[in-house]
Amino acid sequence: MSLAQPEKNSRRSGKAVCALLLATSVFALLRPAQPYAQVAELRGEVSESAILDDQQRKTRQLSMASAQDQTAQVGTTTQSNPPAPTYQPASPGAGLDDDTSPATGSIFDPPETTDDPFADTPAPVPRRRPSSARQRAADQDETEAAEKKNAATTLATTDDTDTAETDQDATNRRAVTIDSADRQELDPGAERAEAIEGRDERTEDDPFAATGIKLGSFLIRPTLEQGLTASSNADSSSEGKPALLSETTLRFNAISDWRENSAVIDGYGTFLKTISGDEIQEARGRVEGTLNVDLDNDLRAIAKLGYEAAPESASSPVVIEGTVEQPVRQTINGSVAVEKDAGKMRFALTGAVARDIYGDAELSMGGSLSQKERDSTLYTATLRTGYEISPAIAPFTEVEVGRRVYDLRVDPNGFERSSTRLGVRAGAELDLVEKLAGEFSAGWLREAIDDDQLPAISGPTVNADLKWSPERGTTIGLTGQTTVEGTTTAGQSGDILYSGRLTGEREIRANLTGNAALGVDWRDYIGSDGHDLTLSAEAGLTWWLNRYTGLTTRARTEKQTSNLEGRDYTAHSIFVGVTLQR
């Protein structure tokens, strides 16, 4: 076989392959291609159903975008561009059923009606039921869109409801009257503030109380009382005569405003001068200060200092015959107390000094009589131990020791008047807040005189200082005191004086105050059966014209009876005047 034969065969095979490929291509071109073109929507005819489905899809997308914008804009004051209006068919038959579903988009879709400014009415589109797969997809999309729209609507409705409930009361909204809007309460923040001049001032507990004067760290409240006193017994003596007196009284109270410690100063001064009748001219007064200081280790220190000057009472146990007027007695007293609470136990140690100075007596026959033999100083120390049963009551016991020293060791009658003092007491402290406060005690007191010729002065003691307020504006006070009075009368040791006062003060009206007092004094002479009984009663009214000025009147009666000759007397008096306070 020659070499030309294989080449010929190879050429024939190539020609056969080319012929086969050419036939296959022709067959492929002759096959119908319309379905593929419509599925890919790249060319050829576009169905009306696809156009309608695409329009509905875009309409739902615009609705969903509008709902999302409304949700994002709740509670803000600005709003973005309004959403595009929802597509509305021109005729009732142009709409789709509720179960229509969106179709796949196409680049050949016609522009929407809202985008064409020259389109008056969209062209009607025939109705067509989509396939089952598209139906399910459409249902899911519509469900999601409805949930988002409902959420936005609910949020907006809730916000509006909360605002309405805040602005209006929870009343029946159907019960609306013509003036219901005017009766609605305004928001407190929107109400117009009242002018400063028109605001109501805060109500005061006592609108007629003294305002006081600020002086450094003290607040001082002075009171001046000026008036006339008509008395049936001007000097309260057994031979007293009536008189019309001018009476002037100055009182003051000063309280510190310190942060921790405190100080209080009280004082008064009274001056009497006869206008007509029995000649009387006397002055009396007292000033006392109290200082409270907190020390370390729960210790408290209380210091007191006082001074008093007043004519000796005509009922004094020492009577000097033939005097023009009663001699002046001066008293200086001071004390220092240290208190400590240890659990429910209470301890207090007090040291006190009292100095009595008697002035010379002016005699009606001329000259004066010295009373230096009566001058004395009393030193005492008192230890108190108490136990707090409750915050309202704390019983206590006291032991007192002291020494009374006379300036003259031996008086003109040859007696040594100095004495040693010893006393015991038991009582209770009360603290019922504003209702009842104070203390009371009872015990025994004895002063043994250095001179054996004179008997010791001894007897029971009663002391009290209580304040009771049964109701607001009413205060009842009870005070009691036991005092040992010395004497320079030959053969006598002295006496024990028991004094008691029951006082009451009532705020009848804001500008009308009433007060009353009952008093009893019992003097028991040691070494004899002599005694004095003094009863007194007083009532008064003060009508405040304003905070600084008031009209005052009071009436007083006093009667003393004694089994000793020449000591009985009766005195009645009435006072009318003006009270000024600051």
User: Looking at residue 124, what is its pLDDT?
Assistant: 46
**Residue in 408, 411, 372, 375 with CA at minimum distance from that of residue 490:** 411
**Residue 17 counted as domain residue:** no
Residue 178 lies in a domain: no
**492 token code pair:** 């006598």
Query: What are the pLDDT digits (tens) for 390-419?
Result: 989 999 999 999 999 999 999 888 999 999
Residue 520 and residue 386 share a domain: yes
Looking at the fold, whether 126 and 239 belong to one and the same domain comes out as: no
Does residue 169 form part of some domain? no
Residue predicted with more confidence, 518 or 167: 518
Domain boundary among 103, 122, 154: 154
Identify whether residues 137 and 234 lie together within a single domain: no
Answer whether residue 520 shows pLDDT above 90. yes
Same domain, 278 and 404: yes
Q: Is the dihedral of CA 168, 171, 173, 179 positive or negative?
A: negative
By mean pLDDT, which of 411-415, 440-444, 496-500 is the weakest?
Answer: 411-415
Q: Is residue 216 part of a domain?
A: no
**484-495 in b/e burial notation, b at 16+ Cβ within 10 A?**
bbbbbbeebbbb
471 assigned to some structural domain: yes
Answer whether residue 509 is part of any domain.
Answer: yes
Beta strand segments in 366-451, E = 368-369, 376-387, 393-406, 419-431, 436-449
Tens-digit pLDDT profile for residues 533-576: 999 999 999 999 999 999 999 999 999 999 988 889 999 999 99
Interval 29-40 mean pLDDT? 46
Query: What separation in angstroms does the CA of 50 have from each of 15, 92, 115, 332?
Result: 48, 20, 19, 121
470 and 357 in a common domain? yes
**Last residue of one domain, picked from the residues 154, 180, 204:** 154
The domain in which residue 138 lies consists of: 36-72+85-154
pLDDT digits (tens, 9 = 90+) for 213-252: 999 999 999 999 999 999 999 888 888 889 999 999 999 9
Q: What is the pLDDT of residue 112?
A: 47
| pLDDT confidence band for 65 (50 / 70 / 90) | low
Confidence class of residue 142 from pLDDT cuts 50, 70 and 90?
Answer: low
Spatial distance between the Cα atoms of 84 and 82, rounded to a whole number of angstroms: 7
How many angstroms from the chain centroid is the CA of residue 223?
29
Least confident range from 183-197, 432-446, 544-558: namely 183-197
CATH number reported for the structural domain that contains residue 424 in this entry: 2.40.160
Residue 11 lies inside a defined structural domain of this protein:
no
- Asked if the model's pLDDT at residue 369 lies above 80, the reply is yes
Kindly report the backbone phi and psi dihedral angles of residue 325, in degrees, each rounded to the nearest multiple of 5, phi listed first.
-150, 165
Same domain, 408 and 522: yes
Check whether residue 146 and residue 250 sit in a common domain.
no
User: Are residue 252 and residue 117 in the same domain, yes or no?
Assistant: no
Do 493 and 369 belong together in one domain?
A: yes
Please tell me which residue, 12 or 506, carries the higher pLDDT value.
506
**CA distances (Å), 118 to each of 56, 58, 112, 115, 219, in order?**
21, 20, 12, 9, 93
| Per-residue pLDDT reduced to its tens digit, 162-188 | 444 444 444 444 445 555 555 555 565
Q: Structural domain tally of the chain? A: 2
Q: What is the pLDDT of residues 52-62, one digit of tens each?
A: 667 777 777 77
Q: Classify residue 228: in a domain, yes or no.
A: yes
User: Of 113, 135, 154, which one is at a domain's C-terminal end?
Assistant: 154
- CA angle in degrees (0–180, nearest 5) for 346-351-356: 140
β pairing state of 243-256 and 262-277: antiparallel
Same domain, 236 and 129: no
Say if residue 458 is in the same domain as residue 359: yes
Contacts of 291 (CB under 8 A, 6+ apart): 261, 262, 263, 302, 303, 304
Q: What is the CA radius of gyration of the chain?
A: 56
- Number of neighbours of residue 67 by Cβ within 10 angstroms: 20
Q: For 111-138, how does the pLDDT look when each residue is reduced to its tens digit (9 = 90+)?
A: 444 444 444 444 444 444 444 445 555 5
- 316-339 burial by CB neighbour count: b if 16+ within 10 A, else e? ebbeeeebebbbbbeeebbbebeb
